[in-house]
């Protein structure tokens, strides 16, 4: 007997190639699926560029998101694309204001899925207090993208006297991590085809601009901040050490790791230090302000598991070293290639 | 924040170290057969904790590393056949063969896909009925039962476009070959945890009985390895040689009989090429004649070309345990994870990669 196709299935509305044609079908997608949720006075003008006033030093960043699967526990590609850019601006000490949003959609994506993604974008943008002010939508042939790719760029303003950069870490500075590592990477991996395992773990994807604004209120001795996304904590610390010409020493014991993440890493042969995070920040601060900043981070809902994990030292041969719980020491290197589950 | 510290309790480690110091009265060299053991030793800086009398040597237990250039060349040649999709575990695609890598073949247009399991390769075969899907089966007894299961599943479904290139190897014969070569003088063997979970700890009895070398099966956490070394040191002290398990949560003496049966149903022993060791009798797994239809080597005509060995690379010696990665002239200078000359620098279980990534530091 041939399979019975329910009318419901047939009726599921899909994004078609024609929706990216630039004509009236494109317009309908923009109006019905995007503007209806994200509209604001600047975006609604639909001119070729967004026009707005800005004063002072400007921070400008861009990030493309290709996560697979596009929906995962604790978030989706939409939320990620807003939080990623908001956080990249925030860690420079900027107040994020405006974002662009470019969608590359593979034909066949359901309008329901698009709606879910745009809704997440709205929710994340509202939480962060940023506006989407310009955008673009393209549709490509099946196989030429993986469901949907999203690029966002963002603009933020930096107040006078703020100088926060990866180049500013100095020996003696303390290193604070705002919470557990590896949650995002492991949550995504748990849903990936061929690996799938049951876990209650959720991605940590979150906008950190408010948390960061709060700590900048209590301390003017923050030298450097960075969000340890792709490449994980190890890559972030290596980058800071490289840019600032210093070494960094961390304590394995102090690094917060959820039990689920540690267990999944043991099973898959991965190291939490190399797993991506989407809602964490590394703060390098003068030692005298470290406790104050830590206490402030812990007051924020995204910083409850924060800890001081190490300190900056004079430059040695190894950029980043870690004291293990056994009192031994080892190098913490940059990630090379994708971390993959072991085969043996 | 509660951390999964059950296997990394420093106070338990201190107790084990104390006991190791007490029992390690004679000079002894122990080999960690398995690449994952080498990684754990390096990651936790365990060498720094051991008394001078004890030396740890890395062994050939990394399936990607021991895959010979000639075997890689076959995989690359298969990938160049039109309408073929080659599927492989991730580590393999960056390993240099004689002339190129699967990664470069992919960039040049071959359809090569990374999978996490042969069952994913099976799924690709189902959804691409007009193409031939070849799984590059690299691995030890740990992964071979899953590969066997994929063949049985393909047969049951009547799937006609799924093949494997079996480069799989089994561990006991290569340890015998290593010991027979007389190149390494071992007083103990840290036996592989995952392999033993399948084949059982009894598979190592011949090492204790015929060669008089103590054997202890170990898990992969720091405490597992320290416990294993402690048990080996006790055997060395008493002059004993027996097989013990320091990984009882994963390994029994008989192993996983279901997995062994599935494996034996589909594969039979064959001679195999090991990088650094050459041809080792009965150390490979080939498809049984009744499953020949799934054998990519029988189905396709291809020419892997002449085999070439990378000059100056000492992966062979490293795999035999006769040299440390630090003795390689290319190490860190020319050979690094971004530009790997040999497979031991590519694989996440490779000794050279472990030494490169984790090093040891005295800061």
Query: What string of DSSP letters covers A197-219?
Result: ------------HHHHHHHHHH-
Q: At what angle do helices B118-127 and B144-157 cross, to 10 degrees?
A: 20
Contact status of B10 with chain A (Cβ, < 8 Å): yes
Band of the pLDDT at B276, cuts 50, 70, 90? confident
- Report the alpha-carbon angle B133-B134-B136, nearest 5: 150
How many angstroms separate the CA atoms of B76 and B61, rounded? 23
Q: How many domains does the structure of chain A reveal?
A: 2
Return the closest-CA partner of residue B55 out of B194, B180, B236, B192. Answer: B236
The winner for highest mean pLDDT among A269-283, A290-304, B95-109, B114-128 is A290-304
Higher pLDDT, A19 or A130: A130
* Lookup result for tokens 């034909």: A107
Q: Is residue A133 part of a domain?
A: yes
* The two structure tokens encoding residue B330: 């290319």
Task: Compute CA distances A164 → A174, A212, A237, A280, B352, whole Å.
Answer: 15, 12, 15, 17, 38
B192 touches B163 (CB < 8 A): no
Contact status of B220 with chain A (Cβ, < 8 Å): yes
Has residue B7 got a pLDDT over 90?
no
Size of chain B, expressed as the number of residues it contains: 363
- Which residue of chain B has the CA closest to A252? B44
pLDDT value for A64 = 95
Has residue A7 got a pLDDT over 70?
no
pLDDT value for A195 = 63
Full residue range of the structural domain in which residue A233 is found: 174-331
Return the closest-CA partner of residue B225 out of B3, B43, B349, B24. Answer: B43
Greatest pairwise CA separation for chain B in angstroms: 65
pLDDT value for A27 = 85
How many angstroms separate the CA atoms of A17 and B221, rounded? 52
Alpha-carbon gap: B279 to the closest alpha carbon of chain A (Å): 22
Has residue A2 got a pLDDT over 80?
no
Of A158, A188, A210, the last residue of a domain is: A158
Same domain for A150 and A38?
A: yes
* Lookup result for tokens 């080892």: A330
Task: Compute CA distances B71 → B68, B166, B272, B337, whole Å.
Answer: 5, 9, 10, 21
pLDDT value for A9 = 44
Return the closest-CA partner of residue B296 out of B55, B76, B48. Answer: B76
Band of the pLDDT at A8, cuts 50, 70, 90? very low
Q: Give the containing element (helix H, strand E) for B84.
A: strand B84-88
Residues 6+ apart with CB under 8 A from A228: A177, A181, A235, A236, A276, A277, A280, A281, A282
Q: Is residue A249 part of a domain?
A: yes
Mean pLDDT of B209-226: 95
Band of the pLDDT at A147, cuts 50, 70, 90? very high
Q: Is residue A211 part of a domain?
A: yes
Same domain for A313 and A180?
A: yes
Same domain for A152 and A27?
A: yes
How many angstroms separate the CA atoms of B193 and A65, rounded? 38
Mean pLDDT of A208-231: 96
CB pairs A-B closer than 8 Å: 129
Mean pLDDT of B5-18: 77
- Which residue of chain B has the CA closest to A195? B116
Same domain for A223 and A296?
A: yes
CB contact under 8 A, B44 and A343: no
A238 touches A302 (CB < 8 A): no
How many angstroms separate the CA atoms of A42 and B336, rounded? 50
Band of the pLDDT at A264, cuts 50, 70, 90? confident
Same domain for A153 and A215?
A: no
How many angstroms separate the CA atoms of B143 and B148, rounded? 9
How many angstroms separate the CA atoms of A45 and A39, rounded? 9
How many angstroms separate the CA atoms of B350 and B341, rounded? 12
Half-sphere exposure of A8 (CA within 13 A, CB side): 0
DSSP conformational letter for B68: -
Q: What is the pLDDT of residues B190-199, one digit of tens each?
A: 999 999 999 9
A297 touches A305 (CB < 8 A): no
Q: Is residue A2 part of a domain?
A: no
- Which residue of chain A has the CA closest to B140? A344
Greatest pairwise CA separation for chain A in angstroms: 76
Mean pLDDT of B211-219: 97
B311 touches B204 (CB < 8 A): no
Q: Is residue A337 part of a domain?
A: no
Has residue A295 got a pLDDT over 80?
yes
Band of the pLDDT at A6, cuts 50, 70, 90? very low
pLDDT value for B87 = 95
pLDDT value for A343 = 55
SS3 category, A59: strand
Give the predicted TM-score (pTM) of the model: 0.81
Same domain for A63 and A89?
A: yes
* Lookup result for tokens 């030298």: A223
CATH number at residue A132: 3.30.1330.10
Mean pLDDT of B227-233: 97
How many angstroms separate the CA atoms of B326 and B318, rounded? 10
* Mean pLDDT of all residues belonging to chain B: 92
Burial class (CB in 10 A: 0-12, 13-18, 19+), B206: middle
Of A130, A158, A186, the last residue of a domain is: A158
The number of helices, as runs of H, and strands, as runs of E, in chain B is: 14, 11
Q: What is the pLDDT of residues A187-200, one digit of tens each?
A: 988 887 656 677 78
pLDDT value for B360 = 59
* The two structure tokens encoding residue B304: 């892997």
* The two structure tokens encoding residue B123: 């799924």
Half-sphere exposure of B244 (CA within 13 A, CB side): 19
B182 touches B239 (CB < 8 A): no
CB contact under 8 A, B4 and A257: yes
Return the closest-CA partner of residue B298 out of B309, B310, B288. Answer: B288
Same domain for A291 and A195?
A: yes
Contact status of B247 with chain A (Cβ, < 8 Å): no
Band of the pLDDT at A18, cuts 50, 70, 90? confident
How many angstroms separate the CA atoms of A267 and B249, rounded? 13
Same domain for A150 and A209?
A: no
The DSSP string of B264-320 is HHHEEEEEEEETTTEEEEEEEEEE-GGGGGGBHHHH-----------TT--HHHHHH
CB contact under 8 A, B36 and A331: no
Same domain for A102 and A146?
A: yes
Mean pLDDT of A16-42: 87
- Report the alpha-carbon angle B184-B190-B191, nearest 5: 105
pLDDT value for B232 = 98
Band of the pLDDT at B1, cuts 50, 70, 90? very low
Q: What is the pLDDT of residues A48-64, one digit of tens each?
A: 999 999 888 999 999 99
Has residue A158 got a pLDDT over 80?
yes
Neighbours of B162 (CB within 10 A): 25
B161 touches B129 (CB < 8 A): yes
CB contact under 8 A, B143 and A343: yes
Same domain for A238 and A126?
A: no
CB contact under 8 A, B45 and A328: yes
Same domain for A186 and A312?
A: yes
How many angstroms separate the CA atoms of B243 and B234, rounded? 13
Same domain for A195 and A293?
A: yes
DSSP conformational letter for A327: S
pLDDT value for B362 = 45
Q: Is residue A109 part of a domain?
A: yes
Band of the pLDDT at B363, cuts 50, 70, 90? very low
CATH number at residue A305: 3.90.650.10
Least confident stretch, B169-183, B249-263, B309-323: B309-323
Task: Tell which B residues from 54 to 83 touch A, by Cβ distance under 8 Å.
Answer: 61-64
Give the pairing type, strands B162-166 and B132-137.
parallel
Q: Which residues of A touch B13 (CB under 8 A)?
A: 325-326
Q: Give the containing element (helix H, strand E) for B239.
A: none
Mean pLDDT of A60-70: 93
- Report the alpha-carbon angle B240-B246-B251, nearest 5: 115
Has residue A304 got a pLDDT over 90?
yes
A34 touches A105 (CB < 8 A): no
CB contact under 8 A, A318 and B1: no
- Which residue of chain B has the CA closest to A327? B10
CA end-to-end span of chain A: 44
Q: What is the pLDDT of residues A77-109, one digit of tens each?
A: 999 999 999 999 999 999 999 999 999 999 999
CB contact under 8 A, B357 and A269: no
**Sequence-ordered alpha helix ranges (H) in chain A:** 7-11, 24-29, 36-38, 41-44, 77-90, 111-128, 183-190, 209-218, 232-244, 259-268, 290-299
How many angstroms separate the CA atoms of A26 and A103, rounded? 12
A37 touches A119 (CB < 8 A): yes
Of A158, A183, A201, the last residue of a domain is: A158
Q: Is residue A340 part of a domain?
A: no
Q: Is residue A344 part of a domain?
A: no
Q: What is the pLDDT of residues B312-334, one digit of tens each?
A: 899 999 999 899 999 999 998 89
The DSSP string of A236-267 is HHHHHHHHHT-EEEEEGGGS---HHHHHHHHH
Higher pLDDT, A262 or B150: B150
How many angstroms separate the CA atoms of B57 and A315, rounded? 31
pLDDT value for B225 = 96
């Amino acid at each position: 007997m041939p399979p019975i196709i329910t009318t419901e299935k047939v009726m599921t509305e899909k994004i078609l190639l024609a929706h990216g044609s630039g004509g009236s079908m494109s317009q309908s997608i923009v109006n019905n699926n995007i503007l209806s949720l994200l509209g604001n006075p600047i975006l609604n003008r639909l001119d070729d560029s967004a026009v707005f006033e800005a004063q002072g030093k400007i921070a400008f960043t861009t990030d493309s998101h290709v996560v697979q699967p596009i929906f995962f526990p604790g978030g989706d590609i939409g939320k990620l694309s807003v939080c990623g850019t908001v956080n990249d601006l925030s860690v420079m000490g900027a107040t994020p204001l405006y974002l662009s949003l470019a969608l590359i959609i593979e034909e066949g994506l359901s309008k329901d899925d698009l709606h879910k993604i745009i809704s997440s974008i709205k929710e994340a943008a509202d939480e962060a207090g940023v506006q989407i002010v310009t955008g673009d939508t393209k549709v490509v042939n099946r196989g030429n993208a993986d469901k949907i790719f999203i690029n966002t760029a963002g603009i933020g303003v930096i107040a006078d006297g703020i100088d926060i950069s990866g180049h500013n870490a100095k020996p003696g500075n303390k290193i604070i991590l705002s919470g557990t590592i590896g949650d995002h990477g492991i949550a995504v991996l748990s849903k990936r085809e061929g690996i799938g395992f049951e876990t209650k773990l959720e991605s940590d994807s979150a906008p950190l601009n408010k948390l960061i604004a709060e700590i900048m209120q209590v301390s003017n001795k923050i030298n450097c901040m960075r969000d340890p996304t792709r490449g994980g904590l190890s890559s972030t610390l290596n980058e800071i050490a490289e840019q600032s010409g210093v070494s960094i020493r961390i304590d394995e014991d102090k690094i917060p790791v959820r039990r689920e993440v540690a267990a999944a890493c043991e099973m898959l042969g991965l190291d939490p230090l190399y797993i991506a995070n989407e809602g964490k920040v590394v703060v390098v601060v003068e030692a005298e302000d470290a406790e104050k900043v830590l206490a402030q981070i812990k007051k924020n809902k995204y910083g409850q598991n924060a800890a001081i994990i190490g300190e900056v030292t004079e430059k040695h041969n190894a950029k980043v070293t870690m004291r293990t719980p056994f009192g031994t020491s080892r190098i913490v290197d940059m990630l090379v290639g994708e971390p993959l589950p072991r085969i043996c | 924040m509660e951390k999964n510290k059950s296997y990394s309790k420093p106070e338990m480690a201190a107790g084990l170290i104390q006991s190791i110091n007490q029992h390690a009265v004679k000079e002894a060299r122990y080999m960690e057969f398995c690449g994952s053991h080498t990684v754990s030793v390096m990651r936790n800086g365990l060498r720094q904790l051991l008394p001078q009398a004890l030396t740890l040597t890395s062994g050939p237990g990394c399936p990607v590393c021991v895959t010979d250039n000639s075997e890689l060349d076959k995989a690359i040649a298969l990938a160049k056949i039109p309408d073929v999709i080659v599927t492989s575990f991730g580590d393999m695609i960056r390993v240099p063969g004689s002339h190129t890598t699967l990664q470069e073949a992919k960039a040049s247009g071959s359809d090569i896909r990374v999978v996490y399991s042969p069952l994913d390769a099976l799924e690709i075969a189902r959804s691409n009925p007009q193409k031939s899907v070849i799984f590059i089966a690299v691995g030890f007894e740990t992964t071979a039962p899953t590969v066997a299961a994929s063949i049985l599943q393909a047969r049951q479904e009547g799937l006609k476009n799924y093949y494997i290139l079996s480069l799989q190897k089994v561990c006991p014969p290569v340890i015998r070959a290593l010991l027979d070569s007389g190149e390494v003088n071992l007083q103990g063997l840290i036996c592989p945890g995952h392999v033993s979970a399948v084949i059982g700890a009894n598979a190592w009895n011949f090492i204790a009985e015929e060669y008089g070398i103590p054997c202890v099966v170990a898990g992969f956490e720091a405490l597992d390895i320290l416990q294993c070394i402690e048990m080996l040191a006790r055997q060395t002290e008493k002059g004993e040689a027996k097989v013990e398990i320091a990984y009882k949560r994963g390994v029994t003496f008989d192993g996983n009989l279901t997995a062994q049966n599935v494996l034996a149903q589909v594969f039979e022993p064959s001679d195999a090429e090991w990088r650094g060791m050459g041809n080792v009798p009965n150390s490979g797994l080939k498809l049984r004649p009744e499953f020949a239809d799934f054998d990519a080597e029988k189905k396709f005509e291809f020419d892997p070309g002449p085999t070439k060995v990378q000059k100056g690379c000492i992966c062979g010696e490293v795999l035999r345990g006769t040299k440390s990665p630090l003795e390689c002239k290319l190490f860190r200078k020319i050979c690094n994870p971004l530009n790997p000359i040999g497979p031991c620098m590519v694989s996440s279980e490779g000794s050279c990669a472990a030494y490169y990534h984790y090093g040891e530091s005295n800061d």
